[in-house]
């Protein structure tokens, strides 16, 4: 299809194109009757300027404008057999309906026309940008809100021109668009239909994409929640590859008490540990001030010190309870007992170990009374029976052991033998029993692992082969501690706990 310049070079302010057809003369004026009406439409009387509802069989006269509502359409039948269908939400003006010329204007919306093949008669449809002229033609016109016009030719031929004077001849089965920039490229209706379908698919795909983007944002919010849980150390994997959840918090039962609770949850079990301390005086809001003095104080007696503590480990059925009471502060570096001198201690303020020079006073709490019980059965205890003023060293009390360490020749299996179980790894067992070979009626076993957050057991090489002492404990702070406790009183059950080593170090539970 070729684009030709109009010889007159007409330029219009509003973009107007027109097509014209010369049809044969018809005997009289071409009346337009509303032959069918679906939905609602109204007609503007050009004289009275009033809108009235359109009805079937109404004869439209030149100058009358028709507006259809949403989901409505009507058909105009002309005396010569021509027909115009006006689509929903369209504005249509019948300009002329004469013997030699029929013309109409579509301001917006859509219409389709079937024009009878008659010679020497003009049939024109004007839009803000285009008109169609037909010699026995079936065509459609659609006008957008911005005036852009789309012309589809189903049968016959059609001349289309734009406001710049360009003109083209549309062939049967073609579509052309006309806007303020002028005529577009004509394409086949098949291609147009395929293009429309592709555009619809593209728009729908975009909606699907937007929906998935929204879902991604919601999922990112959920991931952020999960991240926070991980970063707070509330979930990890234990040595058996199972999920273990941890929660730690502090309860303040009385002004001079605290209770640190560590909860462990796995799919099939619930274990907990608690450490309750009773201080010599009321505790401040910021517990750090008091907790920093828990391991002991250099130079002078601590302002805050424990007089009593209780630890509990339980699987909700069995328990290991430890209780120490009657605690007093003593300078262990300047008492009569040189074996209890402290050369280094864990300093919570630094979260590290600090050295203490020989002879420098170091005050720590010692306890005259202590008991360790498994389901109420004592495995270890002590009691200082004398006057407390004379109690200056923890070594003044002797352990009353119900069970003793099983080592070396007394072991009947590796599982029942105190020592390192996996050479090169931090997996250690402490086994205690009343008897010798084969174990006795009363026993307990502490199976301990040092693990990372993935449940992998730490290698000695990870600790530069340091396996005891302050340096070991300092390195231990970066790992997690899993302790599996079994005992003769548990009837085959176990207490399986994962906790931060810091809690155990700080409270002296890892000596």
Site for another protein in 102-141 (CB under 8 A): 108-110, 112, 140
Binding of another protein by 194 (CB under 8 A): yes
Distance CA 380, CA 98 (A): 120
Binding of another protein by 252 (CB under 8 A): yes
The CA R_g of the chain, rounded to the nearest whole Å, is 48
Residues 413/433, Cβ–Cβ less than 8 Å: no
Binding of another protein by 193 (CB under 8 A): yes
3-state helix, strand, coil in the chain (%, to 5): 15, 40, 40
Binding of another protein by 196 (CB under 8 A): yes
Closest distance to another protein from the beta carbon of 186 (Å): 14
Q: Which is closer to another protein, CB of 337 or CB of 453?
A: 453
Residue with tokens 């300009």: 95
Distance CA 477, CA 501 (A): 6
Interface residue with another protein among 218, 281, 303, 420 (CB under 8 A) is: 218
Closest distance to another protein from the beta carbon of 292 (Å): 9
Distance CA 287, CA 285 (A): 6
Closest distance to another protein from the beta carbon of 27 (Å): 31
Interface residue with another protein among 24, 56, 351, 395 (CB under 8 A) is: 351
Binding of another protein by 211 (CB under 8 A): yes
Residue with tokens 């939905």: 39
Cβ neighbours around 106 below 10 Å, total: 26
- Stretch binding another protein (CB under 8 A), from 23-31, 41-49, 66-74, 362-370: 66-74
Q: Which tokens go with 188? A: 């086949």
Residues 391/384, Cβ–Cβ less than 8 Å: yes
Q: Which is closer to another protein, CB of 356 or CB of 505?
A: 505
The Cα-based distances of 263 to 375, 477, 498, 506 in angstroms read: 19, 19, 9, 18
Binding of another protein by 359 (CB under 8 A): no
Eight-state DSSP code of residue 503: H
Q: Which of residues 67-96 bind another protein (CB under 8 A)?
A: 70-71, 73, 87-89
Residues 88/16, Cβ–Cβ less than 8 Å: no
Q: Which tokens go with 40? A: 């609602």
Q: Which of residues 465-504 bind another protein (CB under 8 A)?
A: 474, 477-480, 500, 502-503
Residues in contact with another protein, shown as a per-residue x/- string from 372 to 411 under the rule CB under 8 A = ----------------------------------------
Residue (of 20, 22, 16, 21) closest to 165 by Cα position: 16
- The residues, ordered by sequence, that sit 6+ positions from 209 with a Cβ below 8 Å of its Cβ are none
Residues paired with residue 313 on neighbouring β-strands, in sequence order? 273, 320
Binding of another protein by 459 (CB under 8 A): no
Binding of another protein by 214 (CB under 8 A): yes
Size of the site for another protein (CB under 8 A): 110
Interface residue with another protein among 337, 412, 422, 453 (CB under 8 A) is: 453
- Stretch binding another protein (CB under 8 A), from 2-10, 237-245, 393-401, 418-426: 237-245
Residues in contact with another protein, shown as a per-residue x/- string from 303 to 322 under the rule CB under 8 A = -------x-x-x-x--x-x-
Q: Which is closer to another protein, CB of 106 or CB of 366?
A: 106
Residues 488/362, Cβ–Cβ less than 8 Å: no
């Amino acid at each position: 299809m070729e684009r030709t310049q109009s010889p007159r070079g007409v330029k219009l302010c509003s973009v107007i194109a027109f097509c014209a057809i010369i049809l044969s003369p018809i005997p009289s004026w071409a009346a337009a009757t509303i032959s069918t009406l679906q939905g609602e439409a109204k007609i503007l009387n050009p004289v009275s300027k009033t809108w009235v509802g359109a009805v079937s069989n109404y004869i439209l006269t030149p100058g009358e404008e028709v507006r259809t509502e949403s989901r409505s359409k009507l058909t105009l039948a002309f005396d010569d057999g021509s027909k115009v269908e006006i689509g929903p939400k369209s504005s249509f003006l019948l300009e002329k309906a004469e013997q030699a010329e029929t013309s109409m204007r579509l301001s917006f919306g859509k219409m389709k026309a079937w024009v009878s093949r008659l010679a020497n008669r003009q049939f024109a449809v004007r839009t803000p940008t285009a008109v169609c002229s037909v010699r026995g033609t079936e065509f459609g016109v659609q006008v957008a809100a911005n005036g852009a016009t789309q012309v589809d030719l189903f049968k016959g031929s059609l001349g289309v021109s734009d406001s710049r004077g360009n003109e083209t001849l549309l062939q049967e089965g073609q579509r052309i668009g006309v806007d303020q920039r002028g005529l577009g490229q004509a394409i086949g209706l098949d291609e147009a239909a395929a293009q429309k379908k592709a555009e619809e698919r593209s728009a729908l795909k975009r909606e699907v994409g937007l929906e998935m983007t929204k879902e991604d944002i919601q999922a990112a919010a959920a991931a952020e929640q999960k991240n926070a849980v991980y970063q707070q150390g509330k979930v990890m994997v234990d040595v058996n590859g199972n999920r273990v959840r941890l929660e730690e918090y502090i309860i303040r039962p009385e002004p001079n008490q605290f209770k640190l609770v560590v909860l462990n949850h796995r799919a099939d079990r619930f274990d907990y540990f608690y450490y309750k301390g009773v201080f010599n005086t009321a505790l401040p809001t910021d517990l750090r001030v008091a907790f920093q003095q828990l391991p002991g104080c250099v130079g002078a007696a601590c302002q805050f010190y424990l007089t009593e503590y209780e630890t509990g480990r339980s699987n909700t059925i069995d328990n290991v309870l430890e209780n120490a009471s009657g605690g007093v502060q003593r300078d262990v570096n300047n008492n009569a007992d040189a074996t209890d001198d402290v050369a280094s201690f864990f300093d919570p303020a630094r979260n590290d170990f600090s050295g203490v020079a020989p002879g420098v006073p170091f005050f720590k709490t010692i306890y005259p009374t202590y008991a360790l019980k498994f389901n109420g059965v004592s495995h270890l205890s002590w009691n200082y029976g004398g006057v407390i003023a004379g109690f200056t060293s923890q070594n003044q009390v002797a352990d009353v052991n119900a069970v003793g360490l099983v080592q070396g020749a007394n072991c009947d299996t590796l599982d029942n033998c105190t020592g390192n179980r996996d050479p090169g790894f931090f997996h250690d067992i402490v086994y205690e029993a009343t008897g010798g070979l084969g174990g006795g009626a009363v026993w307990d076993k502490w199976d301990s692992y040092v693990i990372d957050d993935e449940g992998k057991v730490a290698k000695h090489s990870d600790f530069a082969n340091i396996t005891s002492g302050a340096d070991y404990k300092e390195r231990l702070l970066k790992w997690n501690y899993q302790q599996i406790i079994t005992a003769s009183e548990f009837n085959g059950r176990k207490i399986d706990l994962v906790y931060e080593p810091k809690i155990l170090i700080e409270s002296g539970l890892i000596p």
